[in-house]
């Protein structure tokens, strides 16, 4: 969606930045990749980055920073209390979001901890378009439950719906009637809905959800971690907002919300997090917990250098040429794969390209973690590290049975402004090869299974010797090539 047209008519994503500092990456031979995957218990989180060619595990805390962000780090004020850096960040946030109160936290899940501790009481329900792993864990640890009411289209892999992260308003009304408004801790809208493929939420939907929540006095919480991507999609997919400047769009969104929180590992391309709130009483209740869990109120667990980078990063998020960089690369990667028949979530979303493991590995049973197996196979085939977003990322039911995910995805994240188009084409090439040889991929089973957020450090082993067979086939097809 860049304004630059090519004579050839091709739709080529164009980088609106240049690279001035680089990090060497290693591409190991396929046999070594197999060994490293075995050592990592077939869990891509447990790979060492030195063994990874392209780290597409996440877009979290690994985005390229601008020269202005690095420059701002030099003016950080280290004071424990009353740091000038805090006041600069607070002023930037107030200016962009138009909310009065700001609480700093060390990352997004820390915000979820504070918000859940204050708003969720045992037995209460939280209603949201879709959960995120850490969000759900914080709500359930406080005795609450999660109800997901994303529109039906949101759970379809293939679609042309522009805003698949929208909430189903009938389901929202039904949930409030069934649970009673006093039993709903909060309603949560997640921008750029992560686990269903980075799918955006429309302005119209947020407006309607807000009206319903306000008419019942239910707090509306906005997870703005993926706001940058969502803003891009509002501009390019909603004709009403095509010519509206980004800051005005943000102000309209925030006018609907009671609480906003974000992971600054995504929003603002730094590392940290924060909560914004307009109600003084709620602010005071949350504020008490910050020094307990995060740090003093003027840093909240963040390094002051990161806070300075964040202030600049947030301002840069208001620039269309900055926020369009990931979605256009995601779209290019999706298109390369779709051209070869590889099943991916459509329309392409933000944060990454999501390969549909349900279909890709249709021969692998869901209880053998097909998306986890695909993520491991992608590393062996390419040295690219991606992330399982399926049943492995779920928590077991209370009775110990498996909770099967609605979608089994291998998420190939596209960190902002990090990789070039040729690297993206390499990734697509190897996944296309893997798709041709998909019959060689088998399942996984747990060897060590943690009870909480098991996907982070659980260890697995393959069912059978499929990784060896896959490696042999790679050698046969690619000869001496890495």
Residues with active-site annotation = 80, 132-133, 223, 266, 389, 455
Q: For residues 331 and 388, which CB has a smaller minimum distance to ligand F0G in the complex? A: 388
Cα 142 to Cα 144: distance, rounded to the nearest angstrom:
6
Tell me the pairing of strands 220-223 and 184-190.
parallel
Looking at 33, 54, 56, 58, which residue binds ligand F0G (CB under 6 A)?
Answer: 58
Per-position b or e across 443-458, b if 16+ CB within 10 A of its CB: bbebeeeeeeebbeeb
CB of residue 109 to ligand F0G, shortest distance in Å: 3
Candidates 161-169, 223-231, 236-244, 303-311 — which segment interacts with ligand F0G by CB under 6 A? 223-231
Q: How many CB atoms lie within 10 A of CB 124?
A: 19
Nearer to ligand F0G by Cβ, of 209 and 441: the residue is 209
Contacts (CB under 6 A) with ligand F0G, residues 87-116: 107-109
From 43, 66, 69, 263, residue interacting with ligand F0G (rule: CB under 6 A): 263
Q: Which residue is nearest to ligand F0G (CB)?
A: 108
The stretch near ligand F0G (CB under 6 A) out of 22-30, 84-92, 177-185, 218-226 is 218-226
Nearer to ligand F0G, 58 or 326 (CB): 58
From the number of C-beta atoms within 10 Å of its C-beta (0-12, 13-18, 19+), residue 114 rates as buried
126 close to 187: Cβ distance less than 8 angstroms: yes
Q: Alpha carbon of 276 to those of 69, 90, 262: distances in Å?
A: 22, 10, 9
Candidates 36, 88, 188, 265; binder of ligand F0G (CB under 6 A) is: 265
269 binds ligand F0G (CB under 6 A): no
Question: Whose CA is closest to 305, among 68, 62, 76?
Answer: 76
Phi-psi region of 80 (alpha: psi -120 to 50; beta: other; left: phi over 0): alpha
> How many Cβ atoms from other residues are within 10 Å of residue 482's Cβ?
13
Q: Out of 166, 223, 308, 408, point to the residue binding ligand F0G (CB under 6 A).
A: 223
142 scored as a contact of ligand F0G (CB under 6 A)? no
**Nearest residue (CB) to ligand F0G, 244 versus 453:** 453
Q: What's the CA gap between 45 and 377, in Å, rounded?
A: 14
Q: Indicate whether 273 belongs to the interface with ligand F0G (CB under 6 A).
A: yes
Regarding 194 and contact with ligand F0G (CB under 6 A), the answer is yes
Q: Work out which of 85, 142, 225, 230 binds ligand F0G, going by CB under 6 A.
A: 225
Min separation Cβ 194 and ligand F0G, Å: 4
Residue 199, interface with ligand F0G (CB under 6 A)?
no
60 touches ligand F0G by CB under 6 A: yes
Phi, psi torsion values for 240, nearest 5 degrees: -65, -25
Does the footprint of ligand F0G cover residue 129 (CB under 6 A)?
no
Shortest distance in whole angstroms from residue 3 CB to ligand F0G: 29
d(CA 417, CA 14): 11
Q: Is beta strand 273-277 parallel, antiparallel or unpaired with respect to 259-263? A: antiparallel
What stretch of H or E contains 88?
Answer: helix 84-97
Q: Does 190 bind ligand F0G (CB under 6 A)?
A: yes
* Binding residue (CB under 6 A) for ligand F0G from 132, 283, 426, 474: 132
- CA–CA distance from 158 to each of 152, 162, 196 (Å)? 12, 12, 12
**Residues in contact with ligand F0G by the rule CB under 6 A:** 58, 60, 107-109, 132, 134, 190, 194, 223, 225-226, 263, 265, 273
């Amino acid at each position: 969606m860049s304004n630059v047209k090519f004579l050839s008519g091709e739709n080529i994503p164009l980088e609106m930045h240049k690279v001035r500092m680089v990090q060497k990456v290693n591409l190991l031979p396929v046999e070594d990749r197999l060994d490293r995957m075995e050592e990592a218990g077939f869990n891509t989180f447990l790979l060492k980055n030195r063994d990874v060619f392209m780290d597409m595990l996440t877009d979290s805390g690994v985005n390229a920073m601008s020269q202005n962000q690095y420059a701002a780090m030099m003016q950080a004020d280290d004071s424990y209390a009353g740091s000038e850096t805090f006041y600069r960040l607070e002023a930037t946030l107030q200016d962009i979001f138009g909310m009065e109160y700001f609480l700093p936290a060390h990352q997004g899940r820390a915000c979820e901890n504070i918000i859940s501790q204050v708003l969720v009481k045992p037995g209460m329900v939280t209603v949201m378009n879709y959960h995120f792993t850490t969000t759900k864990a914080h709500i359930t640890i406080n005795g609450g439950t999660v109800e997901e009411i994303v529109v039906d289209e949101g759970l379809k892999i293939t679609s042309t719906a522009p805003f698949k992260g929208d909430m189903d308003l009938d389901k929202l009304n039904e949930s409030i009637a069934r649970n009673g408004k006093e039993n709903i801790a909060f309603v949560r809208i997640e921008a750029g809905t992560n686990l269903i493929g980075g799918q955006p939420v429309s302005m119209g939907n947020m407006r309607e959800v807000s009206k319903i929540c306000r008419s019942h006095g239910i707090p509306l919480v906005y997870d703005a971690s993926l706001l940058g991507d969502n803003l891009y999609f509002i501009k390019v997919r909603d004709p009403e907002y095509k010519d509206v400047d980004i800051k005005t769009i943000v102000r309209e969104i925030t006018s609907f919300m009671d609480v906003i929180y974000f992971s600054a590992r995504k929003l603002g391309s730094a590392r940290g997090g924060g909560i914004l709130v307009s109600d003084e009483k709620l602010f005071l209740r949350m504020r008490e917990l910050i020094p307990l869990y995060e740090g003093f109120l003027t840093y909240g667990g963040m390094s002051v250098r990161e806070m300075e980078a964040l202030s600049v990063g947030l301002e840069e998020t208001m620039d269309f040429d900055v926020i369009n960089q990931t979605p256009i690369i995601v779209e290019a990667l999706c298109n390369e794969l779709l051209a070869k028949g590889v099943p991916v979530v459509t329309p392409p979303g933000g944060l990454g390209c999501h390969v549909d493991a349900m279909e890709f590995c249709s021969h692998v049973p869901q209880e053998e973690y097909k998306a986890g197996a695909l993520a491991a196979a992608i590393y062996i085939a390419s040295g690219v590290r991606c992330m399982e977003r399926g049943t492995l990322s779920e928590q077991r039911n209370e009775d110990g049975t498996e909770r099967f995910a609605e979608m089994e995805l291998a998420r190939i994240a596209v960190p902002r402004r990090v990789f070039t188009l040729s690297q993206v084409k390499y990734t697509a090439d190897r996944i296309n090869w893997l798709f041709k040889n998909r019959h060689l991929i088998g399942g996984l089973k747990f060897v060590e299974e943690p009870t909480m957020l098991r996907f982070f450090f659980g260890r697995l082993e393959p069912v059978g010797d499929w990784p060896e067979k896959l490696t042999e086939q790679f050698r046969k097809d690619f000869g001496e090539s890495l």
